[in-house]
């Protein structure tokens, strides 16, 4: 298996799935660039591995992306692979009441859209010119099972933002295939990261009871599919979404 690039940029790279993706690439001697608001986990990874760069920024702010990330993307060290992975899913207001569509504060909607969708668009927009110049590249968008089901516990802003990611994946894949750039998405199911533990334990237990594989997903389950989509094994795959959910959704 050959990875189609030497440098991978992972947004949300210091979270559960992001760190797992980084570890898989480090096993293959691929340099990783981790972008996140909190980079402590990434800095710990950098202590144990060469080839790790951590950039601290708010990916929901395009001005911060311009300030901290754009210079790298426009340099000779531009990434060959982009993994758009950052995501947030606030489920309740300050009083502990679950968000619904008609009471969703506009600022909450805008914040989730900025992080979960606009950052994917903007980072993709920035990396494509360098990929075109090199003659190819890979973009992987970490999406969600929620785009297939409408979400079970996820609020409207999260579900809509992830639905937008699927649309972005398809449009961009059509636009850049001629330049040797493949664009795909992954729809993780219930993956055991801190994001799913903001609900009562019985919620996750109810998921396990419905998952044919009989367990929650692990970050590594997603990371291995990312590696596959960035390798020569997936050269003829673009514009699609791979479901990684243990059989919870089989559409």
The 10s digit of each residue's pLDDT in 76-121 is: 999 999 999 999 999 888 888 889 999 999 999 999 999 999 999 9
pLDDT tops 90 at residue 60: yes
Dihedral of the CA atoms 88, 169, 146, 9 (nearest 10)?
-40
In this structure, are residues 110 and 37 in contact, taking their beta carbons and an 8 Å threshold? no
Q: What angle, 0 to 180 degrees and rounded to 10, lies between the N-to-C axes of helices 16-27 and 40-48?
A: 20
Catalytic entry in 99, 122, 158, 207: 158
Residue 206 clears pLDDT 90, i.e. is over it: no
The predicted-structure confidence for 117-134, as pLDDT tens digits, reads as follows 999 999 999 999 999 999
Active site residue 158: yes
Whole-model pTM?
0.94
CA distance 53 to 43: 8
Going by pLDDT thresholds of 50, 70 and 90, the confidence category of residue 204 is confident
Terminal alpha carbon distance of the chain: 28
Mean pLDDT of the chain: 94
Q: Is 242 within 8 Å of 229 (Cβ atoms)? A: yes
Q: Are 85 and 21 in contact (CB under 8 A)?
A: yes
d(CA 119, CA 24): 23
pLDDT band at 194 (very low <50, low <70, confident <90, very high): confident
Share of the chain above pLDDT 70, in %: 98
The values of phi and psi at residue 140, to 5°, are -120, 125
- The answer for residues whose C-beta is within 8 angstroms of residue 39's C-beta and 6 or more apart is 14, 54, 55, 56
Q: pLDDT band for position 18 (50/70/90)?
A: very high
**Model pLDDT, residue 207:** 80
Residue 134 backbone phi and psi in degrees, to 5: -80, -15
SS3 98: strand
Q: Look at 96 and 40; give whichever has higher pLDDT.
A: 40
User: Check: CATH 3.10.129.10 for 7-243?
Assistant: no
The secondary structure element, H or E, covering residue 137 is strand 137-142
Secondary structure class of 143 (helix, strand, coil):
coil
Show me where the domains of the chain are located.
Answer: 7-243
8 A C-beta contact, residue 107 and residue 123: no
Q: Tell me, what's the pLDDT at 82?
A: 98
Contact indicator for 29, 6 with CB cutoff of 8 Å:
no
Please give the pLDDT value at position 32: 98
Query: So what's the pLDDT on residue 146?
Result: 93
pLDDT digits (tens, 9 = 90+) for 124-181: 999 999 999 999 999 999 999 999 998 877 899 999 999 999 999 999 999 999 999 9
């Amino acid at each position: 298996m050959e990875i189609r690039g030497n440098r991978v940029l992972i947004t949300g790279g210091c979270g559960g799935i992001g760190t797992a993706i980084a570890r898989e690439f480090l096993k293959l001697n691929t340099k990783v660039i981790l972008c996140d608001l909190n980079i402590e986990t990434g800095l710990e990874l950098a202590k144990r591995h060469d080839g790790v760069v951590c950039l601290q920024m708010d990916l929901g702010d395009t001005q911060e992306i311009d300030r901290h990330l754009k210079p790298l993307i426009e340099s000779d060290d531009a990434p060959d692979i982009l993994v758009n992975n950052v995501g947030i899913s606030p489920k309740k207001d300050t009083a502990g009441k679950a968000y619904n569509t008609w009471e969703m504060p506009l600022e909450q909607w805008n914040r989730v859209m900025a992080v979960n969708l606009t950052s994917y668009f903007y980072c993709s927009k920035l990396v494509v010119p360098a990929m075109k110049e090199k003659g190819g590249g890979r973009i992987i968008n970490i999406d969600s099972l929620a785009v297939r089901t409408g979400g079970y516990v996820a609020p409207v802003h999260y579900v809509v933002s992830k639905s937008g990611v699927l649309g972005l994946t398809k449009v961009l894949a059509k636009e850049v295939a001629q330049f040797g750039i493949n664009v795909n998405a992954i729809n993780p199911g219930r993956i055991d990261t801190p994001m799913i533990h903001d609900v009562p334990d019985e919620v996750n237990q109810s998921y396990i009871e419905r998952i044919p594989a009989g367990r929650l997903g692990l970050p590594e389950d997603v990371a291995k599919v990312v590696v596959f989509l960035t390798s020569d094994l997936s050269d003829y795959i673009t514009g699609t979404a791979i479901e990684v959910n243990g059989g919870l959704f089989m559409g």
